[in-house]
């Protein structure tokens, strides 16, 4: 076959036709592409000119209005603050005094009017005396309340004419701050045409220049296009290209075109297949295409060839070659190739073997890309369709999907894990269904016997029919023909089965196909087993971590809280949070993050959380809690770094951590916070404003030797604090600053929302599609302890005044309706006050808090801590704290900057006291007389 025979494209007929078309073509003809482009450019230039003029006019008007507002406010405030104006407004004849002054001020300041008026809006002055005494036109209400009003309003005539004025109204106050009158100054909005008319010629000139440039460019481009297309119309070019493509792709011969330098200009699909050319072969020199030497030499030469036979790989090719432009001598050639190989059958088998090898290679690359069991099973099904089977199903033991070790007892229960292929045309069990295969079904037999089974004709497969006769009948009606089912085994343990189906349109399975399916399934089974092991370890780590995190919200009065915890997809980390009630209507909030992943990080998190609970129970200051945690983490690093401890652990394990610790006092509204390398919390005020409270950043835990700075905030009731870990605002594709800005936007205007709504909104907005780090979020809205439930008074350091303290306690409990525990509380208070007077130092203060429980606090200026001890029979004292410990639910000591506080808590049921269950006092005192104790 020869192509491009006859007249070349540059023949005389083509050139004459091109000249005739160019003669008929006009730049202004809208039927041409050039005319349409020119019209579009004219429209664009006109629109740009109009937009520029409009922008100039609007900008000039805005500048004039802005300047008018500023001058009006300055003039009004200057006159209102002038000496004697307030006194003149209160005189008998304000007009006589103020009219000349306002006119002088108007002329000096350049405004159009300055008006003085009383508090009812009656004018005392005006540029025209006939308007004096009339009602002022404008808004004066805000000015009467001490504010400045700037507005646009119309009014009586002015020296500059009638029109809308920009006016400012300011109050005039006397020495006591009382508003005694008002002053208004304004400017009439002038015509802004004078501001933009000088710029109009420049804008129009620029538009004209752009239009001229567009016309010139369009003309040059049009001429160049006519030269390149040889005068052919766009329709003719498209038709010529379509014919060219149709011929190249339709012929069963390979076609190649080379230029004079030996570069490949064109090769159709058949030529690329026969010669094995790469996709990027076009434009490359022939000598760089890695072709056989005879073929490469043939393509590079300029000699014509007819029906020459050359060997290319395993193909015998018949080659014809002709020059592309024989008359002009410009070089280049056209080559056609025909495959004359008579060994088609052998070649077909080799191709099938190559396809199988490629399929196994693809399976090794595509199966097992993730550590998800179901995803791996779906990858196996997808890679086999359609190159090996028309329909593939994967059924796994239910234990495998859960990550457990499979056992023979669960073989009868397989769950459909993946389907690929023509599932809509064939009735198959859907994904997720549990399938109980019969003992004679091919799937159960291959699972028990450990090798694959081939059913070349499903119509003659009784075991397959027995499983579900109705479904089998419909499957055959839909075209199923043959089946290969193979076991998925790893480490000698069955994991499930893979089923490969072919329809009537495809060739039935053969014994060679069974071997290939077993090889394919064996490779996939290893990936499925790896995913199963990871699922088991991940589930264990998640279970451990969740068991160490809070299970429910503790009872407390200070905060309304909500939280979220989302583990990472690649394994659990060491993120944790906590809400710890403290005595005195206080609550501690904790948010931390341990470096690393897996069981080690989860266990470390549990140790740190337990330590924080212990430090909080001791009621240590915020910075001391972080300091003790820092020492603990450093000791853990030293222990794990020892040779005998590091054996069996991951290499280079370092127990670093970050932590944020905050204590909120609902009585005072104070919140003390410190953070060790942790992201700063976000504060949402009741009005919806979002900001970071400015907690100083300190070094992460475990570095040692660095102090932890604290910040104390006063939080209004209804404020929300959001504590979080860095997984919420930072990931591989997003910087932490971007994440913080997204978090602020998500919380903007959330002042009246609940913490639960805040958590839901933040997670929905910021949660990444695939999380690479754990996310912990804690939202807390502050409450204030009711002042009516707080009683506090000072006690002089005189033992004789202890009965007075008891009496006041009794009266307070009576007001709260807690008479039932009055005696017990008086006893506790008496013992605590007596100890403070005897062993402490002034000042001594008593505070009672009535919340979920009754809290009694006695503070003094001493740092000496009381301790519970067993008094001897001969001791005169030492039994007071024993009685306090027996009657109170809890008691303890906390230290402050001014001394210490001894506190007790008594349980209340439904807001009322419950005194049942207490041991009688006489019985307790007798215990000290029992010598056997």
The pLDDT tens digits of the residues spanning 564-574 come to 988 877 666 78
Rounded mean pLDDT of 33-40? 71
Q: Is the pLDDT of residue 17 over 50?
A: no
Nearest alpha carbon to residue 888 among 852, 855, 859, 925? 855
Of 283-297, 425-439, 599-613, the least confident: 283-297
Rounded mean pLDDT of 804-814? 91
At 771, the pLDDT band (50, 70, 90 cuts) reads confident
* Exposure b/e, 382-411, CB count within 10 A at least 16 = b: ebbbeebbbbbbbbbbebbbebeebeeeeb
Q: How confident is the model at residue 582, as a pLDDT?
A: 92
Q: How confident is the model at residue 591, as a pLDDT?
A: 94
Q: Is the pLDDT of residue 702 over 50?
A: yes
pLDDT higher at 484 or 329: 484
At 342, the pLDDT band (50, 70, 90 cuts) reads very low
Residue matched to tokens 């069991």: 373
Strands (E), 631-732: 657-665, 670-676, 682-684, 690-691, 697-698, 710-714, 720-724
Which tokens in the block code for residue 467?
């499983």
Q: What is the pLDDT of residues 96-129, one digit of tens each?
A: 888 888 888 888 877 888 899 998 888 889 888 8
Q: How confident is the model at residue 628, as a pLDDT?
A: 92
Question: What average pLDDT is seen over the chain?
Answer: 79
DSSP 8-state secondary structure symbol assigned to residue 459: G
pLDDT higher at 566 or 423: 566
Of the chain, the percentage scoring pLDDT greater than 70 comes to 80
By the 10 Å C-beta count (0-12 exposed, 13-18 middle, 19+ buried), 310 is classed as middle
User: Alpha-carbon distance 371 to 374, whole Å?
Assistant: 9
Nearest alpha carbon to residue 414 among 429, 402, 397, 401? 397
User: Alpha-carbon distance 164 to 162, whole Å?
Assistant: 7
- Residues in CB range of 470: below 8 A, 6 or more apart: none
At 590, the pLDDT band (50, 70, 90 cuts) reads very high
- Residues in CB range of 108: below 8 A, 6 or more apart: none
Q: Is the pLDDT of residue 662 over 90?
A: yes
At 715, the pLDDT band (50, 70, 90 cuts) reads very high
Rounded mean pLDDT of 650-670? 80
Of 61-65, 268-272, 315-319, 654-658, the least confident: 61-65
Q: How confident is the model at residue 651, as a pLDDT?
A: 42
Q: What is the pLDDT of residues 233-289, one digit of tens each?
A: 666 667 766 666 666 666 767 787 887 777 887 777 777 777 777 877 787 887 777
Q: What is the pLDDT of residues 67-85, one digit of tens each?
A: 778 888 888 888 888 888 8
């Amino acid at each position: 076959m020869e192509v491009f025979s006859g007249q070349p494209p540059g023949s005389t007929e083509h050139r004459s036709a091109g000249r005739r078309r160019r003669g008929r073509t006009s730049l202004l003809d809208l039927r041409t592409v050039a005319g349409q482009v020119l019209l579009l450019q004219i429209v664009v230039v006109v629109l740009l000119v109009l937009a520029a003029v409009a922008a100039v006019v609007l900008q000039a008007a805005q500048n004039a209005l802005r300047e008018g507002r500023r001058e009006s406010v300055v003039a009004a405030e200057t006159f209102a603050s002038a000496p004697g104006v307030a006194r003149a407004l209160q005189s008998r004849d304000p007009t006589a005094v103020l009219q000349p002054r306002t006119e002088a001020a108007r002329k000096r300041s350049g405004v159009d009017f300055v008006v003085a008026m009383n508090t009812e809006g009656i004018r005392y002055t005006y540029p025209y005396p006939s308007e004096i005494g009339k009602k002022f036109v404008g808004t004066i209400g805000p000015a009467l309340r001490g504010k400045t009003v700037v507005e646009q309003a119309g009014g009586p005539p002015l020296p500059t004419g009638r029109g809308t004025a920009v006016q400012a109204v300011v109050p005039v106050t006397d020495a006591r701050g009382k508003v005694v009158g008002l002053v208004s100054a304004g400017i009439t909005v002038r015509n802004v045409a004078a501001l933009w008319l000088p710029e109009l010629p420049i804008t129009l000139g620029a538009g004209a220049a752009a239009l001229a440039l567009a016309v010139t460019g369009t003309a040059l481009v049009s001429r160049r296009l006519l030269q390149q297309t040889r005068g052919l119309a766009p329709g003719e070019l498209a038709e010529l290209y379509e014919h060219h493509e149709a011929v190249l792709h339709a012929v069963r011969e390979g076609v190649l075109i080379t230029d004079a330098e030996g570069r490949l200009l064109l090769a159709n699909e058949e030529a690329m297949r026969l010669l094995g050319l790469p996709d990027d072969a076009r434009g490359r020199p022939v000598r760089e295409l890695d072709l056989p030497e005879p073929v490469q030499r043939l393509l590079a030469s300029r000699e014509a060839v007819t029906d020459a036979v050359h060997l290319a790989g395993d193909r015998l090719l018949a080659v014809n070659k002709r020059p592309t432009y024989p008359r002009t001598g410009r070089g280049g050639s056209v080559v056609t190739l025909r495959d004359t190989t008579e060994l088609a059958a052998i070649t077909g088998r080799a191709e099938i073997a190559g396809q199988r090898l490629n399929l196994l290679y693809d399976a090794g690359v595509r199966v097992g890309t993730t550590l998800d069991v179901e995803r791996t099973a779906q990858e196996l099904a997808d890679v086999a369709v359609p190159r090996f089977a028309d329909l593939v199903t994967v059924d796994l033991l239910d234990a495998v999907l859960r990550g457990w070790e499979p056992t023979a007892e669960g073989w009868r229960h397989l769950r459909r894990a993946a389907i690929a292929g023509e599932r809509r045309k064939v009735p198959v069990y859907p994904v997720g269904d549990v399938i109980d295969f019969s003992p004679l079904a091919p799937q159960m037999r291959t699972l028990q016997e450990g090798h694959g089974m081939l059913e070349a004709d499903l119509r003659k497969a009784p075991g397959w029919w027995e499983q579900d006769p109705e479904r089998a009948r419909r499957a055959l009606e839909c075209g199923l023909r043959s089946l290969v089912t193979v076991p998925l085994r790893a480490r000698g343990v069955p994991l499930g089965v893979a089923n490969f189906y072919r329809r009537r349109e495809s060739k039935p399975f053969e014994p060679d196909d069974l071997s290939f399916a077993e090889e394919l399934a064996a490779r996939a089974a290893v990936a499925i087993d790896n995913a199963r092991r990871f699922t088991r370890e991940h589930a264990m780590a998640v279970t451990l971590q969740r068991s160490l995190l809070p299970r429910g919200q503790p009872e407390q009065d200070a905060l309304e809280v909500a939280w979220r915890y989302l583990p990472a997809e690649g394994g659990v980390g060491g993120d944790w949070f906590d809400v710890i009630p403290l005595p005195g209507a206080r609550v501690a909030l904790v948010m931390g993050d341990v470096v690393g992943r897996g069981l080690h990080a989860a266990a470390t998190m549990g140790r740190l959380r337990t330590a924080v609970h212990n430090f909080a129970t001791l009621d240590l200051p915020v910075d001391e809690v972080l300091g003790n945690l820092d020492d603990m983490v450093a000791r853990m690093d030293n222990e794990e770094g020892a040779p005998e401890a590091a054996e069996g652990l991951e290499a280079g394990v370092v127990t670093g951590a970050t932590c944020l610790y905050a204590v909120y006092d609902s009585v005072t509204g104070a919140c003390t916070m410190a953070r060790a390398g942790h992201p700063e919390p976000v504060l949402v005020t009741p009005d919806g404003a979002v900001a970071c409270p400015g907690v100083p950043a300190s070094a992460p835990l475990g570095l040692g030797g660095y102090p932890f700075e604290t910040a104390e905030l006063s939080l209004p009731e209804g404020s929300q604090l959001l504590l979080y870990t860095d997984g919420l605002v930072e990931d591989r594709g997003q910087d932490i600053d971007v994440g913080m800005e997204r978090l602020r936007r998500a919380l903007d205007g959330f002042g009246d929302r609940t913490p639960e709504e805040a958590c839901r909104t933040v997670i929905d907005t910021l949660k990444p599609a695939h999380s690479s780090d754990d996310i912990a979020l804690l939202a807390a809205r502050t409450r204030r302890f009711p002042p009516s439930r707080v009683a506090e008074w000072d006690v002089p350091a005189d033992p004789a005044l202890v009965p007075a303290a008891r009496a006041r306690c009794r009266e307070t409990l009576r007001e709260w309706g807690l008479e039932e525990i009055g005696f017990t509380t008086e006893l506790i208070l008496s013992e605590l006050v007596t100890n403070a007077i005897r062993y402490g130092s002034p000042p001594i203060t008593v505070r009672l808090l009535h919340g979920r429980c009754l809290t009694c606090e006695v503070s003094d200026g001493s740092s000496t801590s009381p301790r519970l001890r067993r008094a001897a029979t001969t001791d005169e004292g030492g039994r007071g704290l024993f009685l306090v410990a027996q009657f109170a639910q809890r008691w303890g000591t906390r230290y402050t900057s001014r001394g210490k506080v001894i506190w007790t808590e008594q349980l209340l049921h439904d807001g009322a006291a419950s005194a049942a269950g207490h041991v009688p006092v006489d019985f307790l005192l007798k215990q000290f007389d029992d010598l056997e104790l």
